[in-house]
């Protein structure tokens, strides 16, 4: 039980960090390399955010529920 809480918290922290890094990294990339680089970096950071978000939701679900099974498939596919 405690491990799931720790996983939820650490993955939520990762999701928040990705939200903070999105404008910073895309702005830096745009200034250094242009629009296409900024677009690519933004897609990458958004993908990391979605990965951490889905993992946070998965680890916060009640054990044995149908939703947790579906979210486990999503979590492990990322």
At a CB cut-off of 8 Å and minimum separation 6, what does 42 contact?
Answer: 22, 25, 26, 29
Tens digit of pLDDT per residue, the chain (78 long)? 778 899 999 999 999 999 999 999 999 999 999 999 999 999 999 999 999 999 999 999 888 888 888 988 988 887
pLDDT of residue 51: 94
11 is in an annotated binding site: no
Nearest to 10 by CA among 47, 52, 54, 71: 52
* Distance from C-alpha of 15 to C-alpha of 9, rounded to nearest angstrom: 10
What's the pLDDT score for residue 78?
78
Q: What is the structure's pLDDT at 25? A: 98
């Amino acid at each position: 039980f405690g491990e799931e809480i720790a996983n939820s918290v650490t993955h939520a922290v990762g999701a928040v960090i990705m939200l903070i890094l999105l404008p910073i990294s895309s702005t830096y990339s745009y200034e250094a390399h242009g629009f296409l680089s900024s677009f690519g970096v933004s897609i990458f950071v958004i993908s990391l955010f979605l990965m951490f978000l889905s993992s946070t939701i998965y680890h916060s679900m009640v054990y044995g529920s149908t939703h947790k099974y579906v979210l486990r498939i999503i979590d492990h596919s990322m």
